[in-house]
Structure 1
Amino acid sequence: MRITSPITAVAAAAFTILSSWAAGSQAAPVDGARIQAADREPGNWMSHGRSYDEQRYSPLAKIDQANVGQLGLAWTYKLDVDRGVEATPIVVDGIMYTTGAYSIVYALDARSGKLLWKYDPQVPRDWSGNGCCDVVNRGVAAWKGKVYVGSFDGRLIALDARTGKPAWTTDTVIDRNRSYTITGAPRVVKDKVIIGNGGAEMGVRGYVSAYDAASGKLLWRFFTVPGDPKQPPENKAMEMARKTWSGDAYVQQGGGGTVWDSMAYDPELDLLYVGTGNGSMWNRKVRSPGGGDNLFLSSIIALKPDSGEYVWHYQTTPGDTWDYTATQHIILADLRIKGELRKVLMQAPKNAFFYVIDRKTGELISAEKFAPSNWASHVDMKTGRPVENPEADWTKEARLIFPSPFGAHNWQPMSFNPKTGLVYIPMQETLILLAPDNNAKYVRKGIFNVGLQPFDMPEDPKGLQQVADAHKGHLLAWDPVAQKAAWDQPHVTIWNGGTLSTAGGLVFQGSADGRAVAYAADTGKKLWEAPANTGVMAGPVTYTVDGEQYVTFMAGWGGAFALGGAMANVAKVRPEARVLTYKLGGKAKMPAPKRVMASLPKLPPVTATPEQLALGRALFNGYCSVCHGFNAISGGVLPDLRYLTPEKHQIFAGILAGAYLQKGMPAFADLLPPDYQAVLQQYIIKRAHDLEQELAQPQKDAAR
């Protein structure tokens, strides 16, 4: 009788899998049974959160607290587009499937980083302006030989996992005259590909849809907010929701409630959980003048995955008017609370409360603040509702609010370690001054339709630094049973990466200032770090090939905070999109960081009056700042318009008219008559002169 060692057996199995893949057999043979039994093959990462419960916890322990300091770079792979990277890689049987900007899909050898195939969905660059927060993508789903990706322009695409060739494509967008996008990763449940959409800021109606995994046929769709009250509601859930809205202004505004990120599935209860986004418009006085909770904004909804039928919901922020989405990461776990083992759902949404909910019934078990906030004092456990602070109602007059729409926790995924019992949250302290525009009307697609005045950020460097200093990033270890912090690691700024926890007693996280880091899961002690050359926002994963454990970080700076401008410059990074994979004893070399050297061109004169420049500033911050930064200070992702050359200034009107549509620059000429275009350009020129003076100041100081 021949005896084979476990190591030899694993290596032989891996060789067989890779050989059969290369020979043409089915790749990515993932199904529900395999995902449910994920702990039996911990070397794979087969679903977005590794398993249906989305815990982002790996049983792998070869890399542990004792040896993590020996991690070295195993391989890197350069992505095509240097923009924000938010994907969680899927790793199945030695093959990694991941995405970059503009929804480009890559299949890589997980051992070496060698490209096996690439698929570019050819997202039209003129669709870029329809998104709020960069042309990002959070990854793919794998199922029965196919890889599924949602493209930024709203298509759902099935690819052959072996070749990358499209098997089918379907359009998920219900209205091409609205700014629908897809940035989230699909999930596959019971042969159904589940996908939502983004666009609430831009004025869309939210929904989540299920498509047949084999054919792409639409199986069901659940709208998250009601439609036109003049028409019959789609189902009983929409009939219930409609009673919580007033008037019909929301129909033109879109309503919002988009399912742009979080989902989880409980196979035992056979329930699909989705998180919904903010209202459209943000301003509830404009959106629903008579008040109301505006279901199902900022809610967690339980649905039957076979039919999309509503089962229960819990609304984290009734009548949301602060952009406090509940689209943040949802985790399922079984926790012992007051001596009873409870099947719970956990979420730490933007609004700064950590929620523990009975995932069978939707009953609120507990809710406590995990970050500073002033919009509500606490959650009333009798009603399950937040007790709002009247001073946080900015629909009447400007108010300083925290957290800001960046949230106390944004899309970056958290993780749960069942050994420590802790949840590891990319927490952030943020604030904003919100001022109402109660006469706001829906304008058109490609424009923020939120019902507030343009954000007023200081122009001077000292004032900007004060605002930046008020924004603080943390890696927070949270005890969901005791509802209190266990430990806290501060960061340079906000917008740090998602987390991964492992049986090796580790928490991995990337940082906004360009590092890959490992911490002790029990104490928070930093044990290892490596340079990433760019901001790291995505959630890392770990896997094994041939018995070797790897840790992968998707690196690339971008997203809403980075596009916003000056505050993001505290991170001192620029976009550089790469896959970074580490292993014990890795010897690969990190490529030198990209250097961007720019000098101011010869500047045109400022001819506008102070009053005209004030108008130009309002126009810039109202229309341009979302991409090019408040007060014309870029965050480094998209061009800094203060550096426009004389040639670009000569064709300024043409650019606003759409000359650069295929480069991703939207047209604004229909919103800006020629005199407005002139004062907008003058403001940009004025800000270039301001920068020239700032750059000259150190030389003047040195000469004194």
Structure 2
Amino acid sequence: MVVPIRLPAITLRRVAGEAGLGAAAVVVLKIDPPRRPGFAPAPRSQHERVPGAGTSRGSPTRPIFAKLRRGAGEHRMRPWIGLTLAILVTLALGGCQRGVDGARILKAEAGDWLTYGRTYDEQRFSPLGQVNRDTVGKLGVAWWAAFDTDRGQEATPLEADGVLYTTTAWSKVFAFDARTGKPLWSYDPKVPGEKGFNACCDVVNRGVALWKNRVYVGTIDGRLIALNARTGAPKWSVQTTDPAQPYTITGAPRAVKGMILIGNGGAEYPVRGYLSAYDAATGALKWRFQMTPNPSGAPDHAASDPIMRSKAAATWGEGAWKKNGGGATPWEAITYDPKTDLIYAGTGNAGPWSDTIRTGAKGDNLFAASIVALHADTGAYAWHYQTTPRDAWDYDAVQQLMTADIMVHRRPRHVVMQANKNGFFYVLDAANGQLLSAQKFVPVDWATRVDLKTGRPVEAPGARYTGEGESHPRSGALGGHNWQPMAYNPKENLVYVPAMVSHGLYGDASGFGFTQGAWNTGMRRMPSGPAAAKLGTPQILAELAKEPPVGELIAWDPSHARPRWSVRYPQSWTSGVLATAGGLVFHAAGHELAAYDAATGKPLWTYDTQADAIAPAMTYEIAGEQYVALMVGYGGAGGMGGDQPRRKGRLLVFKLGGTMIPPAYPAPAETPPLDLTAAEPSAGDADRGGALFDQFCGTCHGGGVFLPNLPRSPAILGQVGFKAIVLGGALKAQGMAPFGRFLSDKDAEDVRAYLLWRAKTDDTARAVATGHAQ
């Protein structure tokens, strides 16, 4: 016999939730017991409430276990109450687990942006279409935020549960109300200013990772930090690198299967690259994969040991790589593919750059300049594809690795795609790494083609440089495509690549000597002192100047390996890309953020950002309104030598009908040429000082107005003050590292002599803004 059970009536009411990622809504259940003769529920006080509701304190499950009172005594807990309590506990605990996890990223709700590329496939395609070809003209600023850093801003903001998370230069983290722009919290890891010397390409940061109720950020000085998503309070911090070595972290972490994946940078110095996986809850190291063999030949006791022993070690000869490990740092591209359960990591250049100095021009030097696939749970090797064997041109393979399902040679394939720095667009089988296509997407003359049978590039005669020879290939060290993310529109089957066209200049350094902790590229230094004109330096520059670098947004058909349309810019260093279901492609060049028709490339909307943007835009939805967000602030490898003044970073957030107008930036203050009559004469060797300047100072101060233009700095007028800064670290808090470990008193005076010579003769020295903030 079936006995019907009469359940209580339950009313759910959302009371409150913690502000921030993964905050569970506190739900109150009003329990009305089944009616029966002779029983009436006791009246409840109108002031009785759920402890902790609307605050971050107290347990939302506490009322379940409180005494049940009635007016004239107490009754035993009824069976229906026990059943109701079970339901309530289940609902409450389920709500507490609201946050970002693998299932939520896989589901990828249209209005969210939960991971660096929005989804695990890194396609940067949003299904949102409220902002579209027809409506984009109504796009305006909804809110904006100003930051305290005026270096490069490269972050992709993430959005979850109504909160927008972003990072700025110097690895600072900020959280905002995604609808109103109200600041919720900020976190400064307080990276020591002198650590900026270890950053080849500016003290940038590309964003955070989200997992459960935490936010994860990597820092310039090599730390991985977990923050409370609601408050920004640190939960744990681990040093992922050897702090005695010139490692950096600029890339965004990735959250995968309860692990936080993080790489590192520093291949120009060089350091030895590796990818690490840390437990998201505790910060414990789960696994690590080294990207080059241990120079000592000893095992690392890492996931990479078997493949290093069986394959990679034999591809390295004797040479300077043994000083610090050969580079191959995975500083940007990390992609998880749920379909194959593999992690794809792109590795940096081999170090030193010169293959002759590095390994005696022998071997392929695995796994530098490679795409490496690893098993997600263990970090064990699965497969690899090397884009530039025995790299000699700084051709990193760290550009975005995107997975997709496309037609290739009339067959459906699940692929990994990359627009590589070397100028070739690669399509690989995601499961086994088989090369399916490789075509030039920008003018390239270092290789004629890629052999699809061997997978190797067919190098052009003269592309490599040896002895006194030089090489001027296209593309140069900035590449045909750098870190700026591309985007894919599956409806159009187009990948939108922020490309560059430029030359490089390479030559072996004579008498190379390894300098621990400094740049060690093995490149011949271009003379820049008084004797430079006699040695032909201006003629070389004039020849390369005939084809100035340019930028290009290319819509690439990956199925047919050809461009569909393109837009060219006078600036080579442009932003990353966003594609949307509204038929739009967002991309910035110079001060202009533009929306293009995804099918044709027709410009549909532009906005003056007042400062150059190099970061990619992202988009999200709150309460039925679509927002588009962009970090603004020039810098990075291509910006440090540029002609744009430093401006404080901004976050611009747009929506349809937005009417806010951010204030104009103040005009940069110019520093006039020095009054050299006040200079203390120098007996230093200006030519020798020029060589030292190029080696130790040129990366930051070599040209443009981005960092202090030393030929116009009063610091060069006297020996004592100059040495206090250069050798003693008087300005290290502002990012000027002390160079006493590299330079002697005589070296410093030679550099000062060179700068005084520049101050007298360099008519192209540009004025710079004063009072730079970190």
Tell me the TM-score normalized by structure 1: 0.91
1:654 counterpart SS class:
helix
> Within 2, Cα distance between the matches of 1:519 and 1:149?
32
Match of 1:613 in 2: 686
Give how far 1:399 is off: 1.6
Give how far 1:282 is off: 0.8
Match of 1:271 in 2: 342
Q: Residue 643 in 1 paired to residue 712 in 2?
A: yes
Identify the match of residue 664 of structure 2 among 578, 592, 595: 592
Give how far 1:414 is off: 0.3
Q: Conserved in 2, the CA contact under 8 Å of 1:412 and 1:497?
A: yes
Q: Conserved in 2, the CA contact under 8 Å of 1:48 and 1:54?
A: yes
Mean Cα deviation higher: 377-386 or 684-693: 684-693
Q: Which amino acid aligns with 1:372?
A: P
Q: Which amino acid aligns with 2:696?
A: Y
Match of 1:702 in 2: none
Mean Cα deviation higher: 108-117 or 665-674: 665-674
Q: Residue 539 in 1 paired to residue 616 in 2?
A: yes
| CA deviations over 1:134-167 (Å, ceiling 9, x no partner) | 1110000001000000011001000010010011
Identify the match of residue 372 of structure 1 among 436, 443, 459: 443
Match of 2:295 in 1: 228
Q: Which amino acid aligns with 2:366?
A: L
Structure 1 residues 589 and 203, CA gap change in structure 2 (3 angstroms): same
Q: Which amino acid aligns with 1:655?
A: I
Structure 1 residues 308 and 695, CA gap change in structure 2 (3 angstroms): closer
| CA deviations over 1:472-501 (Å, ceiling 9, x no partner) | 101111111111111110112111000000
Identify the match of residue 29 of structure 1 among 72, 83, 99: 99
Give how far 1:618 is off: 2.2
Structure 1 residues 461 and 599, CA gap change in structure 2 (3 angstroms): farther
Q: Conserved in 2, the CA contact under 8 Å of 1:434 and 1:455?
A: no
Q: Which amino acid aligns with 1:680?
A: V
Mean Cα deviation higher: 450-459 or 501-510: 450-459
> Within 1, Cα distance between the matches of 2:681 and 2:163?
58
Identify the match of residue 112 of structure 1 among 176, 180, 187: 180
Structure 1 residues 116 and 430, CA gap change in structure 2 (3 angstroms): same
Structure 1 residues 461 and 554, CA gap change in structure 2 (3 angstroms): farther
Give how far 1:372 is off: 1.0
Q: Conserved in 2, the CA contact under 8 Å of 1:433 and 1:456?
A: no
**What is the aligned-residue identity percentage?**
44
- Unaligned runs of at least 5 residues, structure 2: 1-13, 27-53, 57-94, 768-774
Match of 1:198 in 2: 265
Within a 5 Å distance, the mapping from 1:559-570 to structure 2 comes to 559-563=636-640, 565=641, 568-569=642-643
Q: Conserved in 1, the CA contact under 8 Å of 2:680 and 2:717?
A: no
Give how far 1:433 is off: 1.6
Structure 1 residues 233 and 499, CA gap change in structure 2 (3 angstroms): same
Within a 5 Å distance, the mapping from 1:225-624 to structure 2 comes to 225-232=292-299, 234=301, 235-239=305-309, 240-247=311-318, 249-289=320-360, 291-396=362-467, 397-445=469-517, 447-455=518-526, 467=545, 470-511=548-589, 513-563=590-640, 565=641, 568-569=642-643, 572-600=644-672, 602-604=674-676, 612-624=685-697
2:695 counterpart SS class:
helix
Structure 1 residues 109 and 609, CA gap change in structure 2 (3 angstroms): closer
Match of 2:282 in 1: 215
> Within 2, Cα distance between the matches of 1:176 and 1:313?
29
Q: Which amino acid aligns with 1:637?
A: F
Q: Residue 44 in 1 paired to residue 112 in 2?
A: yes
Q: Conserved in 2, the CA contact under 8 Å of 1:139 and 1:185?
A: yes
> Within 2, Cα distance between the matches of 1:691 and 1:248?
39
Give how far 1:469 is off: 5.4
Q: Conserved in 2, the CA contact under 8 Å of 1:510 and 1:553?
A: no
2:428 counterpart SS class:
strand
Structure 1 residues 310 and 646, CA gap change in structure 2 (3 angstroms): closer
Q: Which amino acid aligns with 2:504?
A: I
Q: Which amino acid aligns with 2:581?
A: A
Within a 5 Å distance, the mapping from 1:91-106 to structure 2 comes to 91-106=159-174
Q: Conserved in 2, the CA contact under 8 Å of 1:406 and 1:561?
A: yes
Q: Which amino acid aligns with 1:177?
A: A
Give how far 1:460 is off: 7.6
| CA deviations over 1:280-323 (Å, ceiling 9, x no partner) | 11111111115000000011011011100000000000011100
Structure 1 residues 473 and 603, CA gap change in structure 2 (3 angstroms): same
2:685 counterpart SS class:
helix
Give how far 1:26 is off: 6.3
| CA deviations over 1:168-203 (Å, ceiling 9, x no partner) | 111101x32210110000001100100000011011
Q: Conserved in 2, the CA contact under 8 Å of 1:265 and 1:271?
A: yes
Match of 2:204 in 1: 136
Give how far 1:338 is off: 2.6
Q: Which amino acid aligns with 1:534?
A: A
Give how far 1:439 is off: 3.4
Structure 1 residues 673 and 276, CA gap change in structure 2 (3 angstroms): same
Give how far 1:684 is off: 1.5
2:639 counterpart SS class:
helix
Q: Conserved in 2, the CA contact under 8 Å of 1:253 and 1:449?
A: no
Q: Conserved in 2, the CA contact under 8 Å of 1:558 and 1:575?
A: no
1:659 counterpart SS class:
coil
Match of 1:178 in 2: 245
> Within 2, Cα distance between the matches of 1:529 and 1:26?
43
| CA deviations over 1:225-246 (Å, ceiling 9, x no partner) | 0012442465211111001111
Match of 1:701 in 2: none
1:214 counterpart SS class:
coil
Mean Cα deviation higher: 574-583 or 157-166: 574-583
Structure 1 residues 579 and 460, CA gap change in structure 2 (3 angstroms): farther
1:441 counterpart SS class:
coil
Q: Which amino acid aligns with 1:407?
A: G
> Within 2, Cα distance between the matches of 1:118 and 1:341?
46
> Within 1, Cα distance between the matches of 2:116 and 2:558?
22
| CA deviations over 1:558-586 (Å, ceiling 9, x no partner) | 111221x2xx21xx453330101111111
Mean Cα deviation higher: 377-386 or 433-442: 433-442
Mean Cα deviation higher: 249-258 or 63-72: 249-258
Give how far 1:611 is off: 10
Give how far 1:79 is off: 1.3
Give how far 1:462 is off: 13
Structure 1 residues 693 and 554, CA gap change in structure 2 (3 angstroms): closer
Give how far 1:249 is off: 3.5
Give how far 1:470 is off: 1.4
- Unaligned runs of at least 5 residues, structure 1: 1-8, 697-704
Within a 5 Å distance, the mapping from 1:123-162 to structure 2 comes to 123-162=191-230
Give how far 1:673 is off: 3.0
Larger relative helix fraction: 1
Q: Which amino acid aligns with 2:141?
A: L
Structure 1 residues 308 and 690, CA gap change in structure 2 (3 angstroms): same
> Within 2, Cα distance between the matches of 1:405 and 1:507?
27
- Bigger CA radius of gyration: 2
Q: How many residues align?
A: 672
| CA deviations over 1:8-40 (Å, ceiling 9, x no partner) | x9xx999999894974396970000110110xx
> Within 2, Cα distance between the matches of 1:114 and 1:443?
48
Q: Conserved in 2, the CA contact under 8 Å of 1:478 and 1:485?
A: yes
1:137 counterpart SS class:
coil
2:638 counterpart SS class:
helix
